[in-house]
Amino acid sequence: MIGLSGVIAIAIGGATMMGQFAETQAQKDARMNWWREARFGMFIHWGLYAIPASEWNGKRTGGAEWILNHAQIKVEDYEPLLKQFNPVQFDAREWVRIAKQAGMKYIVITSKHHDGFCLWDSKLTDWKITKTPFGRDVLRELSEACKEAGITLCFYHSIMDWHHPDYLPRRAWDPRPGVEADYDRYVEYMKGQLKELVEGYGPLGVLWFDGEWEGTWTHEYGKTLYDYVRSLQPSIIVNNRVDKGRSGMAGMTVGDHRGDFGTPEQEVPPRGFPGVDWESCITLNRNWGFDKFDEDWKSRRSLLQMLVDVVSKGGNLLLNVGPDALGRIPQPSVERLSLVGAWLKTNGEAIYGTTASPFPRPLSWGRVTQKPGVLYLHVFGSPDGKVELSGLRNKLRSASLLGGSAKLRWENGEDGPIVAWEGSLPDPDVNVIAVQIEGSPEVVPVPLRANRAGVALLRSNEAEIDRARYESDKDCVGYWTDPEATVAWEVQLPAAGAYKVAVMQACEPGVAGSKYRVRVAESSVEGTVSETRSWSDFAEVDLGEVTIARPGLVRVEVKALKIAKNALMNLRWVRLERVKG
């Protein structure tokens, strides 16, 4: 086995270990300011796993950066990849150029992923890039390229390490004996490597930890590591995966745990978290590392609306690329990032340095971001010539289309100001209207309500979601695997009587057949999930009628009765339509 250098035992005690950092809110705001202003960054997953690229011994295994785990590869069988890694087309300046052209303000790259392989010339191990045929320190080159371009460099670092002899627990198929392993010795090794990274490649913007979920990593380790990293560079930002407070893939900290921001993974929360910093990390296709089989790329519309959705809720978007074994960012990634960057050249003022929408829930026609005195209306698709700012009590001073010449007008509507235009807006995916308002925004919550025809369309992005999650790229509630999960709305209905109930649902072949109930006040209907072509292929299903005893505010709730396979369905909306007699 490739061993650790004899200098692993160097004393780390020279750094003064500090207790919990006492920091005023003003001091934390100053430390976090650049990150909050940035709003958009590039995630890079790259390492030896780019060579197999989800295939091992001629078999498609999946997993990408997790292939050692997915294919249950022994460490001794994985190690020969070290002598194969020769990414001769790697160009740090080109990677940074792609990020900058995309409008990204910072880069987070895997200094070390779960396989333990290091992308820098660590003095504490030979399991590193400078021992490959390539022989170059890519983090050094990226550090220099980022400084030249004005991009903030950040490092991802895995707490979990499948290669290190002292890391525990072992994988079930790993034949190496664990009797002599010493987890505390591993933690000291990790601290030594972090000292190399922070002091040798900094100042860094963020240390982005991961792999903290295994039982060997404790809250005490997390507190100590957070304080240690801050002692090396007090200005550094550290994510919440340094500690044990993350609540699953939802990524937000529960309880008193270390970490400066939450980390939702592959999802955008349905609502924001006022007063809390967070960042959604999301892939451009389905995988983090390079997977030669994965061609499921997100569209321009999906990416732009995702970015806007995240920022409108007060978060950052960390969008991932997985370079191949030659060191190239895949061309479909480059093309899509270029499209996002072109949009940001026109509309960047509505993203960078903005804060969350003043509206309590997403608006049906799009999203809102804000700066002092200005609301940015991000209009999705092509609504019918107008948008209503339901609940806004401020007067409008002006309205203009960023990057366009459309003539806009505004007037007061039933629930708030209406901004209208003639014809169609120029961008098919997201247009931005900058609205100057008088004073700070004042918003009175307005309930969802049926329209004049008695139709209430209850969209997934407006729902209260418990134990499932909103998928922004599909505009639906998904990951509905918990039988106790609920999706609910409160809606104002204009009259008592009968209402038709319909849903827009998707369910891939082989998973259909689950049962569910839609309850409207005290009445309900039941449905059986129908098969569609995929989780992204939606079909409308009529469920029957419910009877409402009295008009007014009612609760609508969808809940599983029986999940037949591994998930209930993807749900885009529920529609109630008054039956006129």
DSSP 398-465: EEEETT----EEEEE-SSSEEEEESS--S-SSEEEEEEEESSS--B----EE--TTSEEEEEGGGSEE
- 277, 261 Cβ separation under 8 angstroms: yes
Beta strands in 187-277, from DSSP E residues, in sequence order? 206-210, 237-238
Q: What is the pLDDT of residues 473-484, one digit of tens each?
A: 788 999 999 999
In this predicted model, which residue has the larger pLDDT, 163 or 473?
Answer: 163
pLDDT at 581: 72
- For residue 13, give Cα distances in angstroms to 188, 192, 268: 10, 10, 41
Q: What is the pLDDT of residues 405-422, one digit of tens each?
A: 889 999 988 789 999 999
pLDDT at 364: 86
Residues β-bridged to residue 556: 489, 520
Q: Which residue in this structure is represented by tokens 């829930």?
A: 361
Helix, strand, coil proportions of the chain in percent (round to 5)? 25, 30, 45
| Secondary structure tally for the chain: helices H, strands E | 9, 28
pLDDT at 1: 52
The distance from CA 166 to its chain's CA centroid, rounded to whole angstroms, is 32
Is the predicted pLDDT of residue 183 greater than 50, yes or no? yes
Residues β-bridged to residue 377: 368, 433
Which domains does the chain possess?
39-350 (3.20.20.80), 366-445 (no CATH), 449-578 (2.60.120.260)
Over the chain, what is the mean pLDDT?
A: 94
Which residues make Cβ contacts (< 8 Å) with residue 570, sequence separation at least 6? 471, 474, 476, 477, 478, 480, 505, 506, 507, 535, 536, 538
Q: Kindly report the pTM of this predicted structure.
A: 0.91
Q: What is the pLDDT of residues 371-397, one digit of tens each?
A: 999 999 999 987 889 999 999 999 999
pLDDT at 475: 87
Q: What is the pLDDT of residues 210-268, one digit of tens each?
A: 999 999 999 999 999 999 999 999 999 999 999 998 877 677 777 779 999 999 999 88
Average pLDDT over residues 121-131: 99
pLDDT at 252: 79
